[in-house]
Amino acid sequence: MADKPDPERPHPHSSERVAAHSSERPPTHSSERAPAREEVEIDEKVRAAYRQPSAADEPARARLLARLAAAEPRRTGWRWWLAADAFRARPVWVAAAFVAVLAGGAWLGARFTARHENDVVSLTRSSEEAGTAPVTFVLRAPGATRVSVVGDFNNWDANATPMAHSGSGDMWVLNVRLPRGVHMYSFVLDGSEWRPDPSAPLAADGSFGGHNSVIVVDGAPGL
């Protein structure tokens, strides 16, 4: 323990070295004169001291590291993101992470696209199944021998959708399925008389001389 140097105190060989260089004698150069034997010995001692491995003082090293760590401000929160040396990583791990992110993105993209394709298919199917709704047209038309419904759903063709006479009364009935949405229609009696539905809202006169009726399929009850 006695030969273990105290780091707080100057190195014994260092003081010797300082003493060698702080000699009161003026500096001399080898070109001027040959070094004295005494000086050569001192130099040899200094060199030997530097060649000697210094004994490690582990507690001192730990204290020094602790001081350095305490002196450096801790980067927390947003400072961590701005720090130039926030983390270190081996290139192989960076490359592996990059490949993993790429693979994950490709997998998510493929899954998202597939889900949308499925949505389109299911929407198409549902619209095929539920794109229409049943509608019943009823008209009381005394004296008429032929009644049909014309509208935007049958190209306003008076021969396309005839109504059925209901028994012995004056009622004419038609059950059809119509696409959802707003439809304009009218009744045609005996092929020539156009008549709007008295139980339905009226549409504007479409500049052909006569109102049509409006039906909103699946829009609201009562229409």
Q: How many residues bind other proteins (CB under 8 A)?
A: 31
Footprint of other proteins on 43-72 (CB under 8 A): none
Residue with tokens 């049509």: 212
Could you say whether residue 128 binds other proteins (CB under 8 A)? no
Chosen residue from 150, 162, 164, 187 binding other proteins by CB under 8 A: 150
Phi, psi of 16, rounded to the nearest 5 degrees: -65, -40
Q: Is 221 in the site for other proteins (CB under 8 A)?
A: yes
Contact 208, 214 (CB under 8 A): no
Q: Looking up tokens 């490949």, which residue turns up?
A: 99
Distance CA 88, CA 91 (A): 9
Strand partners, 202: 213
By C-beta, is 136 or 155 nearer to other proteins? 155
* Residue among 161, 185, 178 nearest 217 (CA): 178
Contact with other proteins (CB under 8 A): which of 15, 23, 28, 113? 113
Secondary structure of residue 176 in the 3-state scheme:
strand
Least CB distance to other proteins at residue 62 (A): 59
Q: Is 108 in the site for other proteins (CB under 8 A)?
A: no
Residues 141, 147, 149, 214: which binds other proteins (CB under 8 A)? 214
Site for other proteins in 178-197 (CB under 8 A): 181-182, 184, 194
Q: Which is nearer to other proteins, 12 or 219 (CB)?
A: 219
* Of 176, 115, 179, 185, residue with least CA distance to 155: 185
Locate 75 and state its tokens: 């980067």
Residue with smaller CB distance to other proteins, 12 or 201: 201
Burial of 56: CB neighbours in 10 Å, binned 0-12, 13-18, 19+: exposed
Q: Is 104 in the site for other proteins (CB under 8 A)?
A: no
Residues within the interface to other proteins (CB under 8 A): 113, 150-152, 155-158, 181-182, 184, 194, 201-212, 214, 216, 219-223
